[in-house]
Structure 1
Amino acid sequence: MGEPGRTRPSGSARALSGAYDTALLDLDGVVYAGGKAIPHAVDALGAARAGGMHLAYVTNNALRTPDAVALHLTELGVPAEAADVVTSAQAVARLIADQVPAGARVLVVGGEGLRVALSERGLVPVESADDDPAAVVQGYGGPELAWGRFAEACYAIARGVPWFASNTDLTIPSARGIAPGNGAAVEVVRIATGAEPQVAGKPLPPMHRETVLRTGAERPLVVGDRLDTDIEGAFNGGVDSLLVLTGVTDPARLLAARPEHRPTYVDADLRGLLPGQPEVGDDAGAFGCRGWRASVRGGALELEGEGEALDGLRALCAAAWTEAGQAASRLDAAKVLARLGW
């Protein structure tokens, strides 16, 4: 497990790309959004790779195959091979293979990534509840996934067939905004059946196991944009994490984070891999970071000083996380975050 009592972001005298041997990078909201590279991602990853850091791409999105993901990354200017990609489809396929007979049929509600991952485990993807499946697996299938696919899953589950889900992310970033993710689709089947799936993806142990097995990382750094998957997954795996603010997590959510959702480091984007990270100090109940001092008084966050906005946010994290018992409300947070431009 990660550090249970984290009350502030950590500092690092060394560049993170040198302090850790492998970056376990989420994709959606970190490297790209809606198919386009996030600003600074390509150059930052190139510099980290040139410095000797191994880059692995770990995604809860089960729609595409590792080959397709690697090709997309390469087209964006981030050279990658299929072996560099770990998906929740691979993790759930291993989870299923451990519980059903070799060569068993599996009803797939999702995309090509799930079918390929199942086939790699010697399992046979099928389309109908009438195909005598030994398991049902559900993964993100994109906006074109037909409603009838959910019905097939429900028919099989009602007969007692075990149900698996690649992940339960409720949302997914897109070029047009935040869209429903696989977790929203899982809720449809849960409501209809009253059943509960076995889940493989982040933040749960099957995904961490798959990642370690495939990357061989010894000093990994999880890099993500989601508190409830990327950061909690790092916490559960007992490894350090870097939250980047290019996806679904905004500063207000970060300040209100539960202990298992508090990242080791915080940065604006993937350029955070390249320098060291500043220390957050404390003095008489106030927390300072390079020109800023933050505190909690009367249940409200207060911020004094000047400097880079990100350093002010780091100081605010320390104040809010330390005083979690009287954590400031979103309204309180909004007042001080507005001063930093958020």
Structure 2
Amino acid sequence: MSGTLLDGHDVVLFDLDGTVFRGGELIPGALEAIQEVHRRGVPVRYVTNNASKPDQAVADHLVGLGLDADRTEVSTSAQAGAAMLAEKLPPGSKVLVVGSPALVSEVDKAGLVPVREFADEPVAVVQGLYTEIGYRDLTEACLTIRAGALWVSCNGDRTLPTERGLAPGNGALVALVQAATDQEPLVAGKPERPLLDRAVASAGAEAPLMVGDRLDTDIAGAVNAGMPVLMVLTGVSTARDLLEATADMRPGHVGADLRALNRPADEAAIGAQPGWQVRVGSDSLELAAQAGAQPGDAMSALRALCAAWWAASSGPVAVRGADERAQDALRQLGLA
């Protein structure tokens, strides 16, 4: 029996949307899991690609959901985007902001001058999620970028998990500007390193653990930064997405939700699993239950399938169950 996933880590970086909550609803198991992290004395950082809210509003939202959170524990992509601009521009430079008042505030705090129009002659554009963005805002950004301005995107998430389902994310609007300008932005949020590096530095930590739900941002960001990572299946990415993930988006551990944090580390580790046998074909997998396989033990089946397929290949794969228990596990995972 190994120690828990928390052992040996001096900070836990939690993604928010799809990992801790969905919109205004706390994800089952999140409260107890994060309370245990606090009880163990391990610092936490809430690391969000959502640039629409200031850190205090994020902390207030978490407190309203029952968590003990402080603004100093919140790292946003708006903060990371403004810091990236400040590193590249002289103080007092004009920056066209396509985003929320929170992003405007971060640009101002970084010693830059936020503006809203191409006519103000900005030398850079920063773009973050804001539900009030309109055609005029995107037009001003396109004109500025085509004139040669530096372009920073707070994040590239094309979708945003909500209690109603997936809504358009900042990446969807960034893609529109890309199509209209034939340019590519610098990205401050996950999967790039600036946001994660700033969060770790703010805790004075050296051994972080990342926890997230999304392969192309949370998991890829952790892999990119050389951090161990736990993936949870409570948000955007599915069991099939994980199984077919490329090497740059593969976590070392996977759990159904945040409760995996406080379970023995070897239980959540992707690898061969007692009770399951996986036969690998050229483009297929066959899962068979062995002695020790428990009804409903679908997560361990997923860990075994991932280990087998990742060692052999990558990309699309057909999966079938060799017996009733295996078929039931695949149905639970959406892989049948």
Same fold (TM over 0.5): yes
User: Residue 44 of structure 1 is aligned with which of 27, 33, 37?
Assistant: 33
**Offset, 1:36:** 1.4
Give the corresponding residue for 2:171: 183
Find the residue that maps to 1:310 and give its secondary structure: helix
Decide whether aligned partners of structure 1 residues 106 and 281 sit closer, same or farther in structure 2, where only a CA change above 3 A counts.
closer
Find the residue that maps to 1:167 and give its secondary structure: coil
User: Residue 241 of structure 2 is aligned with which of 253, 259, 268?
Assistant: 253
Deviations 1:223-272 (A, max 9, x none): 00011111111111111000000001110110001111110110000001
Distance 1:145 1:54 in 2: 35
**Offset, 1:338:** 5.3
Contact 1:109–1:138 (Cα < 8 Å) also in 2: yes
User: Residue 298 of structure 2 is aligned with which of 284, 298, 309?
Assistant: 309
Distance 2:60 2:127 in 1: 24
Read off the aligned partner of 1:166 and give its amino acid letter: C
Read off the aligned partner of 1:153 and give its amino acid letter: A
Deviations 1:278-331 (A, max 9, x none): 36999xxxx731311223134311111132111111111111111115x552xx
Distance 1:84 1:105 in 2: 29
Distance 1:159 1:275 in 2: 54
Give the corresponding residue for 1:132: 121
The answer to whether 1:211 aligns with 2:195 is no
Find the residue that maps to 1:145 and give its secondary structure: coil
Read off the aligned partner of 1:39 and give its amino acid letter: P
**Offset, 1:209:** 2.5
Read off the aligned partner of 1:292 and give its amino acid letter: W
Distance 2:304 2:30 in 1: 25
Distance 1:281 1:260 in 2: 17
- Pairwise mapping of residues 215-254 of structure 1 onto structure 2 (< 5 A)? 215-254=203-242
Contact 2:94–2:124 (Cα < 8 Å) also in 1: yes
Distance 1:248 1:55 in 2: 22
Distance 2:176 2:130 in 1: 14
Read off the aligned partner of 2:275 and give its amino acid letter: G
Distance 2:52 2:319 in 1: 36
Contact 1:27–1:58 (Cα < 8 Å) also in 2: yes
Give the corresponding residue for 2:257: 269
Contact 2:53–2:102 (Cα < 8 Å) also in 1: yes
Gaps of 5+ in 2: none
Deviations 1:46-81 (A, max 9, x none): 112111221110011111010100111111111111
Contact 1:55–1:84 (Cα < 8 Å) also in 2: yes
Give the corresponding residue for 1:333: 319
Gaps of 5+ in 1: 1-11
Q: TM-score, normalised by structure 2?
A: 0.91
Find the residue that maps to 2:69 and give its secondary structure: coil
* Count of aligned pairs: 323
**Offset, 1:181:** 0.7
Give the corresponding residue for 1:101: 90
Distance 2:66 2:205 in 1: 24
Give the RMSD, CA atoms, in angstroms. Answer: 2.0
Give the corresponding residue for 2:162: 174
Contact 2:43–2:203 (Cα < 8 Å) also in 1: no
Distance 1:173 1:281 in 2: 26
**Offset, 1:215:** 2.2
Decide whether aligned partners of structure 1 residues 280 and 59 sit closer, same or farther in structure 2, where only a CA change above 3 A counts.
closer
Read off the aligned partner of 1:333 and give its amino acid letter: V
Find the residue that maps to 2:209 and give its secondary structure: strand
Give the corresponding residue for 1:84: 73
**Offset, 1:119:** 1.7
Distance 1:280 1:99 in 2: 41
Distance 2:130 2:206 in 1: 33
Give the corresponding residue for 1:25: 14
Read off the aligned partner of 2:197 and give its amino acid letter: R
Give the corresponding residue for 1:3: none
The answer to whether 1:53 aligns with 2:39 is no
Give the corresponding residue for 1:295: 279
Distance 1:97 1:338 in 2: 54
Distance 1:280 1:128 in 2: 50
Contact 2:285–2:320 (Cα < 8 Å) also in 1: no
Give the corresponding residue for 1:200: 188
Give the corresponding residue for 1:7: none
Distance 1:208 1:187 in 2: 23
Distance 2:327 2:130 in 1: 38
Higher RCO, 1 vs 2 (CA within 8 Å, ≥6 residues apart): 1
